[in-house]
Amino acid sequence: MYSQLDVAGDLLALLGEVTTEPRPDTRLEALTLAVAADLPVLLWGEPGIGKTAALTQLAESLDLPLTTVIASVHEPSDFSGLPIIGDDPATHGVPMAPPDWAVKLARTGRGLLFLDELSTAPPAVQAALLRVVLERRIGALQLPPGVRIVAAANPRSSAADGWELSPPLANRFVHLQWTHDHDVVVRGLGGTWPRATLPRLAPEKLPEAVAFARRAVCELLAARPKLVHQMPTTETRRGGAWPSPRSWEMTLRLIAFATAADASRDVLSILVRGTIGDGPGFELLTSIDRMDLPDPEVLLADPDAAELPERGDLRQAVLDAVVAAVRKRPEKSRWDAAWELLVTAVNTGAPDLVVVPATTLATLRRDNWEVPASIEQLAAMVSVSQRADRAAARVAEVRR
């Protein structure tokens, strides 16, 4: 007999029928890129915003078996292994037996290990998770390379009996802030969720991607050695992303994967800041932006063929570098070429960007150098800008 519970089951099955669609999502793309790079990821977000649902859908999309482990309800021995006494412990020792979920993962050879509610795990459990997250080892069992690790946590203020993450555990993760997107939620409740797909890595770009990543990280750290290791001073910040040799190695890997996958700058920004923190992350991103800037000597050698960056901050950096190159080796031909470049900058972008370089370049003129005709195109603009600056200064003085 077909009961009401059977009818209820049919209704539940219909409610569970959903589809997926490709949809631009920088957070989801950052997550899949970190998973492809085989780095542990930690999703931070308030309760109920869909962290667990996102991981479930990710596992389905990547065709990976999902193993969910609620960290807070386990004992440390569940991750470090349970001692099993054999026939002759004095001879063979006492092996540390792994739990059943770890054995199943190892047997399958691939899967997504989801460590949920990480911020409610007490310090002893967090300590036991260190080897699981970094070395993929549970007791005497080594998880196979096909297993990826993703965790989720609520901020301590909204976690049930929450703890701050210990610095050693926090420094092993790529931290991603997970928030809900109104449009995604509405469309998902209508039956269509975004589809998670692994990034498409271009095989021909792999050597170039590795070289670029190493250059990006090493150039910054050579110039800013204090960034190699900076443990935050507050307990809350130590439980997030911060720079260390380990997290810089993770960052290097992420840059290589993002380069090979031609990921957007927004995705790279999420990953970098989630690995070494906001401050060092922004410094690295700025350094990467400047790596591709044209050589000022090349621009001075052929100003007619110069192509200046579109972004204002990068264009300003290029013009400043050109003026600095002329200051280092002042010659009439180089001085004239610099003026041509400033005119090009005015004609192809925001004129106010050339005010400071033009003013500085004018001070480098020698007595026997004739003023180029191109300077007339800039004189009026510089004069107007300087008058505006003086007027703004007078207004500020009056207000004070």
Per-residue pLDDT of 20-67, as tens digits, reads 888 888 898 999 999 999 999 999 988 877 788 788 888 888 889 999
pLDDT score for 397: 66
Contacts of 33 (CB under 8 A, 6+ apart): 199, 254, 257, 258, 261, 263, 267, 271
- Strand pairing class (174-177; 137-138): unpaired
Per-residue confidence (pLDDT) for residue 168, from 0 to 100: 92
CATH annotation of 17-86+93-194: 3.40.50.300
How far is residue 396's CA from residue 400's CA, in Å, rounded to a whole number?
6
* CB < 8 Å & 24+ apart, contacts of 84-90: none
pLDDT at 387: 47
- Does the global pTM surpass 0.85? no
Domain range summary for the chain, segments of one domain joined by +: 17-86+93-194, 203-291, 296-399
Alpha carbon distance 41, 28 (integer Å): 12
CB atoms within 10 A of CB 305: 8
Identify which of 147, 273, 116, 263 has the alpha carbon closest to the alpha carbon of residue 197: 263
Q: Rounded CA gap, 116 and 284, in Å?
A: 31
Low-confidence ranges of the chain (pLDDT < 50): 384-389, 391-392
What pLDDT sits at residue 82?
75
Phi and psi angles of residue 115, each rounded to the nearest 5 degrees, phi first: -95, 100
Backbone phi, then psi, for 193, in 5-degree steps? -110, 155
Six-digit token string for 26: 């920088």
